[in-house]
Amino acid sequence: MQKMKLQMPGYNLKKLHLLSLFFKVAIHISDYLVMKLLVTGSNGFVAGSILANCPSHWQVHGLSRTKEIPRGNNIVYHKLDMLDREKLPGLLQSIKPDVVIHTAAMANIDYCEINKDIAEQVNTGITAHLCAICKNEGARLIFCSTDTVFDGSKGYYTETDIPHPVNFYASTKIKSEQEVLSAGSRNVVARLSLVMGLPVLGRGNSFLADTISKLKNGEQVKFPENEIRTPIDVITLGNALIELAGNDFGGLIHLAGNTRINRFEMAKQIADALGLSEELIVKTDSSKMAGRAPRPNDVSLDNSKARKVLSTPMLSLADGLALTMNF
Ligand SMILES: NC(=O)c1ccc[n+]([C@@H]2O[C@H](COP(=O)([O-])OP(=O)(O)OC[C@H]3O[C@@H](n4cnc5c(N)ncnc54)[C@H](OP(=O)(O)O)[C@@H]3O)[C@@H](O)[C@H]2O)c1
């Protein structure tokens, strides 16, 4: 049998070797050029929207504490309790993220009020540790804070207003904000208004999903009329956080919708838009809701800075609701 000869016109082995070397170098360089993003709390409500909306050419990693839920393609999931101080630095050293969006938190205000120790460890301790690791690794940190850092006596808060907490959760967030901002001028503290929407990937803390399910079951739902917010839909929020990860903004920014509304009115408008019974929505006052930690009255946020800095549009309640319901 005649020996087969690999014949490629115009190519010899030396050329092929050079070509393969070129591709290896190109892959190595692209490793540095492609944005590497790590999203903590990847099972959560806000993280789900970030992970679902990231540009497909980014290298995206999610970090969750409990068992991973199989989700979006192209996302590498890591399972770790961030309280594990030994393992967290090693994980970041192996991922080498350019940016970390830190959504992981103990976000249940009432739980934090009666479990102060663990709330402090998770909300403040983990954030401080992450700040130090990101600083060492040269990664930018984007921290998700809250409108409730304010005491609610004024409303339409801007980034220059001074926070003053009325509950323990808010005090853990204020301490974390200070850690993040003092750890680096490229770091971001994004104060989120009440987040409205349905979970996109994973689960999480969605009052809308809860309310829809109760109304559909014919159950009454109570909403405090004294709590005034500027709700932001979860899709817009995810996009805004992604944009912040991709640009060079550093500092404080308020991410909030354009509609300032009390929570009772908000629930009625949502029920109306979704064709659900408004009759089951009952007006109450924060002080009459037993077992609840104190809440600030009016923590509506002024979103002028976000509208100036970001190309992601901030939406009205009606537009945000439509966006999240049709996603
Ligand atoms: N939702 C809102 O209306 C709102 C408003 C203002 C600010 N924020 C802030 O925005 C961020 C995201 O809120 P969210 O509504 O998405 O909260 P969420 O749904 O409760 O998600 C938070 C995630 O943090 C994770 N986590 C908690 N402890 C952890 C630990 N020790 N190690 C690793 N992961 C841990 C949880 O993971 P597991 O699921 O694995 O336990 C959870 O999935 C939070 O920082 C919150 O304070 C939210």
Residue 17: inside a domain, yes or no? no
User: Which CATH number does the domain housing residue 246 bear?
Assistant: 3.40.50.720
d(CA 35, CA 55): 10
Which residue of 43, 91, 129, 235 sits with most ligand 1 atoms within 8 Å of its CB, as the best mutation to test the pocket?
43
Per-residue pLDDT at 22: 66
The rounded Å distance from CA 44 to ligand 1 centre is 5
The rounded Å distance from CA 46 to ligand 1 centre is 8
Radius of gyration in angstroms for the set of CA atoms belonging to the chain, rounded to a whole number: 23
What's phi and psi for 48, nearest 5 deg?
Answer: -60, -40
- For residue 119 and ligand 1, the question of a CB distance below 6 A is answered with no
Nearest of 234, 231, 227, 251 to residue 309 by alpha carbon: 251
Nearest of 65, 225, 203, 229 to residue 146 by alpha carbon: 229
Per-residue pLDDT at 1: 42
- The atom number, within ligand 1, closest to the CA of 122 reads 31
pTM of the model: 0.91
d(CA 269, CA 267): 6
The domain of 192 spans 26-325
68 with 51: CB under 8 angstroms?
no
Residue 16: inside a domain, yes or no? no
d(CA 87, CA 284): 46
d(CA 293, CA 206): 19
Residue 7: inside a domain, yes or no? no
Which residue of 61, 65, 266 sits with most ligand 1 atoms within 8 Å of its CB, as the best mutation to test the pocket?
65
**Structural domains of the chain, count:** 1
Contacts of 64 (CB under 8 A, 6+ apart): 41, 42, 43, 77, 78, 79, 80
At 323 the three-state DSSP class reads helix
Contacts of 89 (CB under 8 A, 6+ apart): 133, 136
Contacts of 254 (CB under 8 A, 6+ apart): 147, 157, 158, 159, 190, 191, 193, 301, 302, 303, 305, 306
Residue 268: inside a domain, yes or no? yes
- In angstroms, the Cα distances linking 313 to 189, 258, 290, 327 are 19, 10, 38, 16
| 30 token code pair | 């692209």
pLDDT in tens, 216-238: 999 999 999 999 999 999 999 99
Residue 212: inside a domain, yes or no? yes
Residue 20: inside a domain, yes or no? no
Residue 2: inside a domain, yes or no? no
- The atom number, within ligand 1, closest to the CA of 195 reads 3
pLDDT-flagged residues of the chain (< 70): 1-13, 16, 19-20, 22-32, 68-73, 202-203
The rounded Å distance from CA 64 to ligand 1 centre is 10
Which residue of 38, 45, 123 sits with most ligand 1 atoms within 8 Å of its CB, as the best mutation to test the pocket?
45
- For residue 62 and ligand 1, the question of a CB distance below 6 A is answered with no
| 291 token code pair | 């077992």
pLDDT in tens, 96-113: 999 999 999 999 999 999
Residue 112: inside a domain, yes or no? yes
